[in-house]
Structure 1
C-alpha cells in the first residue's frame, strides 16, 4: 500500500534579509526546518500554509509565489513507510509579526513527557545555506533560495 505525506512550508524573508526557520524537538530528535506542516484531507495547499502559520506562529500570511515541489523520492524521516511530498511557497506577513524569536538554535525548555517543542529564529542571509536546515528536501530548497534570491 502506498502512503503519501504532503507537507506545505512557507519561506519568509524580513527587511534585514534574514530567513525564518523553525527549530523543533520531535520524538527525541532536533530538526531545523522551514515553518509549515501537514496537509489535511479536504484542504488545498494554499489554505494549509495559511492555517499552519496561524497555528504555529499566530501569523497571518499570504502566498507570494510557489518556490518548489519535491521532484525526487524521499522516505519519511519519522515513520520510514511514507513518501514525503513537500511544497514550498514564498509568503509575506499580512499581520504584525509577533511570534517569540529564539536567540540561538533550540533555545527552549523541553518539559518532562513532552514529545514536540518548537520555536522560530531568523538566520542572516550570509550565514544561511543548506547546512542551516536538517531535512533533505529543505536542503534542496535552501540551495535553490541561495541561487534565486
Structure 2
C-alpha cells in the first residue's frame, strides 16, 4: 500500500491549474487571497468538486487570483503559496531554484484553507483570508 502525505496531495492539487483540465466551464471567478493578513504574492488556488464535476484553478499574483474556466457547484478550495520570492543573486542559485519545487508555506489545514465554497456563476468574487503559523 502506498502512503501519500498531505503535502503530496496539495502539490497534486496545485498542479491542476497548470494542466489545463478539459471540459471546464466558461464562467470567471476572482478574489483576493491573504495569509495572516498579508497578500499571498505568488501561488495557486485549486477548486476540487465535492461529488461530480471538473476541477479548475488559477494562479495567485500579488494577492489576487482569476479563473476563466469556473464551473458552478460546491468545491473545496485549496491555496498554496511559493516562498522565497526574492530574485536569485547568482547563476548557481538560479539553477537550484529551477530544479527544485517551490516550498509551500500555507499548511493544508490552516484556518480558511480547504474550505467548502459555492460557485454560482460568471463574475463571482470569492475572497480567502487564511490564518496559520508564521510564514518561514
Identify whether the pair has TM-score above 0.5, normalized to the shorter chain: no
TM range (shorter): under 0.3
